[in-house]
């Protein structure tokens, strides 16, 4: 947390940047107000990188265009009806929005847009006090009508208006509260948490696309666990990812010291740590994080109590993969993400058979083939799934997976395992056997693929001989 003085210094340096000072002068010369608002002001106090600069003004959209057109390389309507104009000034993109005092009808989260007349009135309608601060330009005066600085110092998340009114107007703000909890490391105030509990059903008026967008932003934060816990504690998760709170009462037979819910959060934490360790410069991997969070959601549906009181979750990997695909489709995630997350969940237990006996080269090839382009994510998910407190057991599993990755690398170097294909393609199969496209070609292809996985590269001559033998036996049969 930066001091107020150092934050003001950072903001002053930003305000004096040529393109911003030029913009501020243009509005002042035209007799209009201009202020830097929202995230950049907040982040100046938090010592975070300043980007995505948003400005607000008393000028209406048409007047904004009149002011920026002479100094901008280009400008465009982002949403003129909502009061927002975009422009590029000296190579920098800015967005300028007219002061607003919106009114909500209580049925949807879309407000009746009403332009306001004061900066203070615009600020108090915003989602959280820490986002309701502004820097007037060009005079560089901080405006904070709701005590945002005090909340920043206390690292708390509060709303400018009463929380139940704010969330009743726009229920999506409740999901933002969870995201900011993780993104900023803040704690919501008691009244915010109570309003989230009371108004959780209001999420039903939010589109699936909006929900998935906020959920994705939450999972891409450095530490999403706190936000997910808030969603579960307040009941919001029941309307977003109901499979996650359903895990709380399910005791995992492999991890007697914690329930499946806590285990899943730990797997998510560990997957993120491994993701950063193995790919330090990569963007947050949403697919991996979804798979880590949801990898055990098949357990409630497969829980059985066997003789002697032993609890089992047979086939929870397969069931969980189907549940994850259904949930992610309902949230309008793209097809690639749905398919990849589902596949990772389906495969997340495959490795644990490796520790029960040495896998043949054939088994290793199948592991790679089945993982396909998800192999690296599967490596991370499988390692993250070890949450036992038994150090000896954890070390044994880690060493076993080290060994598996070493074998994959060796086989890959020998025969390019990642692109395992039969020694003959479909055209060659049809030519050799004198058959037309159809089911028999597919069966022949699978026969050759199994040979390839079991025995490695055969070469075209040997593959031809084995294929002819296979076909002759089938024909004779």
User: Averaged over 159-177, what is the pLDDT?
Assistant: 95
Phi, psi dihedral angles at 409 (to 5 degrees): -65, -40
Whether the per-residue pLDDT at 304 is higher than 90: the answer is no
CA-based Rg of the chain, rounded to a whole angstrom? 29
Residue with tokens 């920026």: 68
The predicted-structure confidence for 209-237, as pLDDT tens digits, reads as follows 999 999 999 999 999 999 999 999 999 99
Nearest by Cα to 34 from 63, 10, 77 = 63
Chain Cα centroid distance, residue 81: 31
**Given phi > 0 = left and psi -120 to 50 = alpha, else beta, which region is 216?**
alpha
Are 344 and 285 in contact by the 8 Å Cβ rule? The answer is no
Whether the per-residue pLDDT at 419 is higher than 70: the answer is no
| pLDDT at 249 (0 to 100) | 64
CA distance 94 to 20: 9
Of residues 8 and 366, more confidence is placed in: 366
Q: What is the model's pTM? A: 0.83
| pLDDT at 308 (0 to 100) | 75
| pLDDT at 477 (0 to 100) | 66
The predicted-structure confidence for 251-265, as pLDDT tens digits, reads as follows 544 444 458 999 999
Are 342 and 321 in contact by the 8 Å Cβ rule? The answer is yes
Burial class (CB in 10 A: 0-12, 13-18, 19+), 318: middle
Chain Cα centroid distance, residue 44: 25
| pLDDT at 257 (0 to 100) | 40
Whether the per-residue pLDDT at 274 is higher than 50: the answer is yes
Structure tokens at 67: 């002011």
User: Averaged over 321-330, what is the pLDDT?
Assistant: 98
Average pLDDT, the chain: 90
User: Averaged over 127-156, what is the pLDDT?
Assistant: 94
The predicted-structure confidence for 109-137, as pLDDT tens digits, reads as follows 566 778 889 999 999 999 999 999 999 99
| pLDDT at 258 (0 to 100) | 54
Whether the per-residue pLDDT at 55 is higher than 50: the answer is yes
User: Averaged over 4-20, what is the pLDDT?
Assistant: 84
Whether the per-residue pLDDT at 80 is higher than 70: the answer is yes
Are 104 and 170 in contact by the 8 Å Cβ rule? The answer is yes
User: Averaged over 19-25, what is the pLDDT?
Assistant: 94
| pLDDT at 436 (0 to 100) | 86
Nearest by Cα to 379 from 361, 353, 402 = 402
Of residues 228 and 457, more confidence is placed in: 228
């Amino acid at each position: 947390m930066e001091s107020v003085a150092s934050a003001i210094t950072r903001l002053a340096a930003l305000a004096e940047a040529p393109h911003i000072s030029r913009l501020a002068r243009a509005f002042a010369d035209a007799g209009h107000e201009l202020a830097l608002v929202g995230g950049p002001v907040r982040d100046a106090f938090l010592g975070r990188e300043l980007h995505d600069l948003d400005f607000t003004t008393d000028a209406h959209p048409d007047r904004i265009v009149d002011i920026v057109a002479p100094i901008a390389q280009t400008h465009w309507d982002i949403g003129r009806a909502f009061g927002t104009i975009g422009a590029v000034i000296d190579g920098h993109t800015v967005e300028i929005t007219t002061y607003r005092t919106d009114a909500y009808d209580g049925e949807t989260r879309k407000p009746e847009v009403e332009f306001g007349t004061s900066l203070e009135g615009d600020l108090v309608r915003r989602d959280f006090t820490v986002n309701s601060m502004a820097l007037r330009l060009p005079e560089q005066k901080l405006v904070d009508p709701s005590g945002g600085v005090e909340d920043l110092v206390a690292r708390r998340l509060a709303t400018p208006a009463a929380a139940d009114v704010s969330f009743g107007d726009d229920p999506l703000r409740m999901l933002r509260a969870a995201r900011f909890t993780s993104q900023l490391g803040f704690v919501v105030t008691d009244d915010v948490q109570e309003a989230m509990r009371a108004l959780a059903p209001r999420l039903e008026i939010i589109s699936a696309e909006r929900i998935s967008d906020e959920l994705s932003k939450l999972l891409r934060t450095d530490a999403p666990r706190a936000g997910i816990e808030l969603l579960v504690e307040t009941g919001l998760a029941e309307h977003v990812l109901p499979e996650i709170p359903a895990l709380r009462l399910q005791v995992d037979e492999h991890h007697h010291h914690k329930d499946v819910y806590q285990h899943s959060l730990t797997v998510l934490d560990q997957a993120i740590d491994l993701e950063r360790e193995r790919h330090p410069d990569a963007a947050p991997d949403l697919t991996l994080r979804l798979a880590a969070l949801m990898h055990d959601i098949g357990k409630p549906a497969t829980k059985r109590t066997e003789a002697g009181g032993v609890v089992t979750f047979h086939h929870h990997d397969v069931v969980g993969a189907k549940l994850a695909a259904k949930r992610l489709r309902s949230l309008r995630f793209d097809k690639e993400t749905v398919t990849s997350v589902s596949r990772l969940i389906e495969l997340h237990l495959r490795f644990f058979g490796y520790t029960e006996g040495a896998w043949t080269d054939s088994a290793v090839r199948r592991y790679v083939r089945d993982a396909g382009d998800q192999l690296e994510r599967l490596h991370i998910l499988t390692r993250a799934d070890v949450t036992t407190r038994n150090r000896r057991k954890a070390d044994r599993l880690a060493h076993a997976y080290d060994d598996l990755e070493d074998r994959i690398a060796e086989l890959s170097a020998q025969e390019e395992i990642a692109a395992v294909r039969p020694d003959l393609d479909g055209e060659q199969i049809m030519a050799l056997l004198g058959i037309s496209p159809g089911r028999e070609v597919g069966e022949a292809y699978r026969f050759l693929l199994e040979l390839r996985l079991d025995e490695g590269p055969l070469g075209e001559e040997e593959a031809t001989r084995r294929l002819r033998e296979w076909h002759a036996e089938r024909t004779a049969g």
